[in-house]
Structures are given as C-alpha cells and as structure tokens.
Chain A
Amino acid sequence: MKDNFSPLDLLALRADFPILSETVRGKPLVFLDSAASAQKPRAVIEAMRDAMEHQYANIHRGLHWMSERTTEAYENARDLTAILIGAPSRDEIVFTRNSTEAINLVAHSYGRGMMHRGQAVLISEMEHHANIVPWQMLRDAHGIELLVCPITDDGDLDYVAYERLLASHRVGLVAITHMSNVLGTYTNGARLAAIAHAHGAKILLDGSQAVVHRAVDVAALDADFYVFTGHKLYGPTGIGVLWARAELLDAMPPFMGGGDMIGSVSFERSTWARIPHKFEAGTPAILEAIGLAAAIRYVKAIGFDEIGAHEQALVDHALARLSDIEGLTIIGRAQDRGGVVSFTMRGAHAHDVATLLDRAGIAVRAGHHCAEPLMRRLGIDSTARASFALYTTKEEIDFLADTLLRVREFFA
C-alpha cells in the first residue's frame, strides 16, 4: 500500500504500530487523535520492556554494572534529544514530565528568578492552557505583566501586532506556540525570535505539536527556550523536554530541590549540581527516557522530510475533502500548517459528531482542546479535531469525510 502521494511505505510503517490492527466495536480503528497523544511503535515498547527485563537500576549513583549501563542508556536519550532539535550542547537538555512541566520550570526559575516587576511576558491568542496558566501564576505572584498577541481571522499570528507589542512594552520573555494544537498553524519561529531579540526579549517556543511533524533546529531558530513532550512524538508518557541556552540554565535557580540536583548538602546550605542535573531533582523517568530515545531513533530513521511530505499531503487532502461538505466549517486557514484539522458542523455539537464518528471506529477529539481563550476569540464553543501522524492514510481521511456526510444526515 505505497500511498500514491506519499514517499512512505505505509503498510510497513503501520505494521510497526501494534495498536493499529485493533478493532473498535468490531470496526477497524481509525485513529485521528495523534495530536492528543500518538500511538507507539514496537521499537519503543520493546526498548522499555528490554530495559526492565535486562538492564535496569537507578542511575547516577550506583557503583555497579546495572546502574552504570542504565545511566548510559538514560544519558544516551539526552544525546539523541540534543541531536533531534539541533541543540549546541547535550547539557542544555533537561528532562521533565511533559511540556507543561517544562513551561512551569521556566516560569518558576527564569520568571521568578530572573525577571523583574514591571516586565512583561508576551503570549498569543492561540496558546494551549499549558502556555497560559503558568504565566498567569507568575503575573499574580511576581508582578509581571501578561500580554496577549492577537491572531488573524485565518489563524496566523499577527506579526505586525507582535512587533508593536514588543516595541511598546517592556517584554522580558515571549512564550508562543510553534504549532497550534487547534488551528494547525505553524508560527515562524525564526522571525519571532529575531523580532523578540531586537527588542531585548528572550523567547520560548512551545514545540509540543511542531516537533512531531518537522525537523526542528533550535540553533537555526535562534530560540532561547524550546519545550516538547515525548508522548506526542511516538514515545511514552511521563517524559518531556526543556531545551534552553546553557548560559540561561546556568544563571537560573533550581526549580525543585532534592537528590540528584545537588553538589553537596549540609543542614546549613546546599550547592547545586551542574546543568542539566541541577534541574532534574529526584529519580527521573528512566524507562520513559529510554522509550523516548527509541522513538527519536524511529522517526529519524524514517526521516522528517518524508514524514513532513506525507503529512502535508494528508492535510491538503483533508482540507479538500472536508471543504466539500456542506455545513462543515474548517477552523483555521493558515498558510503554513501541520497535521491538525479542526472543524465545526452546522446543527451538531462537536461532542455529538465525535460520538457518531466513534461508533464508526474513528477517534477524533472534541471540545475546547485546552485552548478556551482561542475558542472565545474564534466565537465558538468547541470544535472536532482530526489530527494526523506518520501512520495516517489517505483512505482514513476519505473514510472520515464519508462518515461526516452520514453524521450530517443523522443530525439534519
């Protein structure tokens, strides 16, 4: 089943994901909810199981063979992560639980530790709650102003307003998504960074969605902070990544205190470990890091050029098919977009649409997608969202479109 518009051998790739051969209520699973969490290839499942069966102990402390080998595997995950996103140094990779924790780490350590009252954090109208709430907490606790950059009606960031906000306020930090989880919009990270730096601000890009669909190079972007999560990148839950410039991490105070993050401890005072360990208090997600490493190896072996081309073809096809459905409105018409298509259907709430799709075996997400302010900006309550992964097929999108026609009839 070599897709006629795809360079990928989809039949072989889909065979790598055991769950894709499952049925749901007797129907083949059509999984179009990968933006919420992607399915896992056998390589990830086996890497984690192999570690537990053959090579596992706590890391960074045991003077024994098992601990040394496990430490190597964990630190190898850091090397692979650094290569994945073009980090200049492996010491700039901090493992967290997820993107949310990575953003909270920055809000706490950089925000409270290095920003001053009267400075502003600039976010956008299309942020996930994870990139809104930590900054509100910083604002309320630390006297920081919170600014919101508007988007256009097409769902692109308003770059003119962005520059104006930076020019007219004392923005210390920009925190903006690299790809919207609702609209699919890719923001121009390099442009955002250049403008932020011209006004003396640092920039954090939330790459939770972006890193899944394209090669990301934090050095080329000239970002200061970049966050993403493992489970959307075909890895396990419980492992996320914060990348930051070494000089920032060096200057920032620790986020959490505990074992593994110290230089020395006495009851009077403690000193901190060097980066990245300063930010990894306690036993980390060892098995999950090993799983993430396997996921990175897996996607790199396929290649982001191939993945990106395949998903672009899927998005184009989905936009064409869904646009043809009377009464269906696609939310977000950005020029540059990734594998996420949100829509509403006249006369049917997104939950009702999702329930009927589910009965056909199709998994989509419905609701506000953890982006309530964006929903308000768009004047809607909720959307249904189909999202694509490297294993998604053109036939699945056709099935979605055909089923949506029936859903429309049902609620007509």
Chain B
Amino acid sequence: MFEDVADLYQQVILDRGRHPRHAHRLDRFDATGKGDNPMCGDRVQVWVKRDDAGAISDVGFEARGCAICIASADLMAEAVIGHDAPGLRALSDDFAQMVRSGQSASNAALEQLKPLGGVSDFPSRVKCATLPWQALMGALDAPDETEAAHG
C-alpha cells in the first residue's frame, strides 16, 4: 500500500528518525539557534561548537518534530563538520534546492543527505527537512556566546 512513499521514508531516514545520534544539547558550545514552524508546531534548536579557525567542530540538536525533521537534523549535524560560515550558507542553499527540486546536489558534503531528496514529491513536508537548517542559520546569525562571555 505504501510502495510510493519508499522515496520519502528511505531506511536511513527511518533509522535516523528513530535513533538519532546527535539529539542532545552540547555542554560547551559557541552559538545556538532555533527554528520554528508555527503552522504545525515543529521546533528545532541546534548548538554548535567551532574550532580555532571558525569551522564547525561539533553539532547537537533537540527537535520536536516528525521522522523527516529529526533525520534531517541528525544528518545535517554530520555534514556540516569542518565548514565555516560562508560554507555553511552555501550548503544550506544547496540543501534547500535539493529538497525542493529533487535534483541531487552537486555539493559533495551533501552526499549523505541525498535520501532527503525524496521530500520534493511531498510539498507539505519540505519545511520539515529544512527546519533544522533554519535553526543552524539562526546559530550563525546569533552573537557568539564565547566571545560574549569574554566581553
């Protein structure tokens, strides 16, 4: 009966949705950001840690949402490691493009996120996949908590 949802709910998405590996807040972090979908009540918060060069070294998240949203956040947490702010913005744009169009992203960093491309056939669910990225972009725009602490 559900053969035609196989593209949306690929095994990796079901697995990550059920058992995410990064669904926790970071004890030590440099910035945090939130994403809200007021239409359905979904909410994601991400915490990021940066290395000395400004590249992401760790990401954790808490999500109140569906399998797509949680899997997307969990895969994102791995894909963004090593990227600096400009790189992250480009990744976020490429990811949004991929889940809207269904076209695979050329960006190699998004290789593991390809299973989420199936969302493009479900317009009402695209926002579920992009919400964690919205939270991440919020963290980029947020004042750096470490710097703030140091005045």
Contact = CB atoms under 8 A, between A and B. Distances in A.
A351 B40 contact: yes
Interface string B59-70: 000001111110
A366 B66 CA distance: 11
B142 interface: no
Interface in B21-41: 39-41
Q: Please name the 6 residue pairs, one residue from A and one from B, whose CB atoms are nearest each other, closest first.
A: A349-B66, A368-B41, A351-B66, A367-B40, A352-B66, A381-B64
Contact of B122 (A355, A410, A411): A355
Interface stretch (B3-11, B75-83, B84-92, B105-113): B3-11
Given A349-B66, A349-B67, A381-B64, A355 B39 contact: no
B1 A360 contact: yes
Interface string B97-122: 00000000000000000000000001
Contacts of A25: 4
Interface of A: 25, 347-352, 355-356, 359-360, 366-368, 372, 375, 381-382, 403, 406-407, 410-411
Interface size class of B (residues with CB under 8 A): 20 to 34
Contacts, number: 55
Interface string B111-135: 0000000000010110010000000
A381 B62 CA distance: 14
A315 B122 CA distance: 30
A371 B35 CA distance: 19
Contacts of A359: 1-2, 4-5
Interface centre among A351, A356, A368, A410 (most CB of B within 10 A): A351
A288 B48 CA distance: 52
Given A351-B125, A351-B128, A356-B2, A375 B41 contact: yes
A355 B8 contact: yes
Contacts of B17: 352
Most chain A CB inside 10 Å of its own CB: which residue of B17, B40, B125: B40
A406 B1 contact: yes
B92 to A, nearest CB: 22
Contacts of A406: 1-2
Contacts of A368: 40-41
Contacts of B40: 351, 366-368, 382
Given A349-B65, A411-B14, A355 B5 contact: yes
Given A25-B4, A349-B66, A406-B2, 19 more contacts: A349-B67, A351-B42, A351-B65, A351-B66, A351-B128, A352-B67, A355-B5, A355-B8, A359-B1, A359-B2, A360-B2, A366-B40, A367-B40, A367-B41, A372-B41, A382-B40, A406-B1, A410-B2, A411-B14
A103 B14 CA distance: 43
A231 B1 CA distance: 33
A375 to B, nearest CB: 7
Contacts of B39: 367
Nearest to A367: B40
B44 to A, nearest CB: 12
